[in-house]
């Protein structure tokens, strides 16, 4: 999946520990010095206390103009930004800065294997939207735009940022589309256990839970700190689902499995130049292993391997028969086949691994590093058969911005 949440289980050392944090663009210098081309600041004590870090704002402005040299006068823009921060505590991105920052945040996502496409991200500038009702409607429109009749488009919808004294609305749901999970009272689950907590919270707010294995959860939006979230049913035309079939085994359809087309992450904050956008849902398209090897296979998710193995009549008496591996491959074959037959964009782990190395090579030619977390980049099926397995990656600097970061609690 682009903007992937895929993670293998192989523990690896963290290479970032060997590197001291620093500006990814090489900006900055000893204390008291002014970086060449940087506007001098008026002492902040004369103005409004900064809500937005002026250093982060300056670094972003310089990065924007360094990568887009035709964008205008960087010294003048930096001076404007710093003056606005001094007067108001923060500043406002131009539409071009917002689009650039969102795309670079994707480029900086160390856990994403699909970054070759970062320039193609469709950026929806919705900073004027702040009410829960409007935000929910725009999230549904996001899904329609991204679905695109099955030809999935990478999209981000950026809503109002946090302002001094005015935290912006948050999307409580971790993804715009998610399946509910219901404990069965005997230690098991109906549906997706990962959706259990959100289903319970939505039910407490008045949502009527279903009884199925693939009930789509409502979208939960919290407009203000201290208020209860509001829930919104997803319109039918906003959510495309794919019934799963196998290219060889007709019985596979009897399992009744399905999955949705657009993986839209909605619980992370987009940070650009010191400004935080807490509601900025974004999506790419799925890599098949995320569904076939994680969502449907993990023991704490749908846990389908034993059932698939039973239909395949595999010997499950011992792990040494590799029945789990064989069932896993057939489950992944079904996912890839079904999305292709439905005309819904999906990539496989071999193709995406090759494309990721292409991305690394392109970035290297431009003089940029490509930070990557090995444990997330290597796919959870046949990892050793992919080229991303057999190499090291640049250290991950947690201070790198723009970036998608864990949301700060209210």
Q: What pTM value is reported for the model?
A: 0.88
Separation of alpha carbons 385 and 20, rounded Å: 33
Residue 410 confidence (pLDDT): 76
**Position 49 confidence tier, pLDDT thresholds 50, 70, 90:** low
Separation of alpha carbons 379 and 259, rounded Å: 19
**From 107, 115, 124, 294, active-site residue:** 115
Residue 47 confidence (pLDDT): 42
Residue 32 confidence (pLDDT): 31
**From 62, 107, 112, 376, active-site residue:** 112
pLDDT per position as a tens digit, 84-94: 999 999 999 99
Is 410 annotated as catalytic?
no
Say whether the peptide bond before residue 402 is cis (omega within 30 degrees of 0): yes
Q: Is the pLDDT of residue 275 over 70?
A: yes
User: Of all residues in the chain, what percent carry a pLDDT higher than 90?
Assistant: 85
26 versus 177: the higher-pLDDT residue is 177
Is 189 annotated as catalytic?
no
Is 294 annotated as catalytic?
no
**Position 30 confidence tier, pLDDT thresholds 50, 70, 90:** very low
pLDDT per position as a tens digit, 341-352: 999 999 999 999
Is 112 annotated as catalytic?
yes
Q: Is the pLDDT of residue 137 over 80?
A: yes
Q: Find the range with the poorest average confidence among 36-40, 108-112, 156-160, 279-283.
A: 36-40
Pairing between β-strand 219-222 and β-strand 230-232 as defined by DSSP bridges: antiparallel
Residue 25 confidence (pLDDT): 26
Letter string b/e over residues 172-198, b meaning 16 or more CB atoms within 10 A of that residue's CB = bbbbbbbbbbbeeeeeebbbbbbbbeb
Residue 273 confidence (pLDDT): 98
pLDDT per position as a tens digit, 185-217: 898 999 999 999 999 999 999 999 999 999 999
**From 78, 290, 330, 352, active-site residue:** 290
**Position 23 confidence tier, pLDDT thresholds 50, 70, 90:** very low
Taking residue 111's Cβ as centre, other Cβ atoms within 10 Å add up to 17
Q: Is the pLDDT of residue 271 over 90?
A: yes
């Amino acid at each position: 999946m682009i903007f992937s949440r895929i993670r293998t289980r192989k523990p690896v050392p963290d290479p970032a520990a060997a590197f001291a944090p620093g500006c990814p663009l090489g900006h900055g210098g000893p204390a008291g010095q002014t970086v060449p081309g940087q506007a001098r600041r008026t002492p902040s004590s004369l103005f409004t206390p900064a809500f937005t870090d002026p250093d982060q704002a300056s670094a972003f402005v310089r990065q924007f103009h360094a990568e887009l040299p035709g964008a205008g006068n960087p010294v003048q823009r930096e001076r404007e930004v710093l003056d606005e921060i001094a007067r108001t505590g923060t500043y406002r991105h131009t539409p071009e800065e917002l689009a650039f920052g969102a795309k670079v945040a994707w480029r900086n996502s160390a856990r994403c294997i699909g970054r070759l496409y970062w320039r193609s991200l469709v950026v929806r500038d919705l900073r004027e939207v702040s009410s829960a009702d409007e935000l929910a409607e725009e999230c549904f429109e996001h899904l329609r735009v991204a679905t695109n009749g099955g030809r999935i488009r990478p999209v981000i919808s950026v809503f109002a940022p946090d302002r001094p004294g005015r935290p912006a609305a948050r999307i409580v749901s971790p993804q715009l589309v998610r399946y509910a999970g219901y404990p069965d009272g005997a230690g098991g689950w109906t549906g997706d256990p990962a959706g259990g907590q959100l289903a319970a919270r939505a039910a407490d707010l008045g949502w009527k839970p279903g009884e199925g294995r693939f009930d789509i959860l409502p979208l939960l939006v919290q407009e203000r700190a201290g208020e209860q979230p509001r829930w919104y049913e997803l319109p039918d035309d906003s959510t495309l689902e794919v019934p799963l079939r196998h290219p060889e085994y007709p019985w596979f359809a009897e399992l009744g499995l399905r999955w949705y087309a657009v993986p839209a992450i909605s619980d992370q904050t987009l940070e650009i130049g010191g400004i935080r956008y807490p509601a900025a849902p974004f999506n790419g398209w799925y890599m098949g292993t995320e569904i076939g090897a994680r969502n449907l296979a993990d023991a704490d998710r749908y846990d389908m391997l034993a059932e698939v193995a039973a239909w395949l009549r595999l010997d499950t008496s011992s792990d040494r028969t590799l029945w789990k591996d064989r069932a896993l491959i057939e489950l992944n074959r079904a996912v890839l086949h079904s999305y292709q037959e439905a005309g819904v964009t999906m990539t496989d782990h071999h193709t995406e691994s090759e494309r990721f190395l292409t991305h690394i090579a392109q970035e290297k030619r431009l003089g940029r590093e490509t930070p990557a977390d090995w444990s997330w980049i290597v796919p959870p099926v046949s990892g050793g058969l992919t080229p991303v397995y057999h190499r090291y990656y640049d250290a991950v600097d947690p201070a790198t911005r723009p970036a998608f970061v864990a949301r700060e609690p209210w």
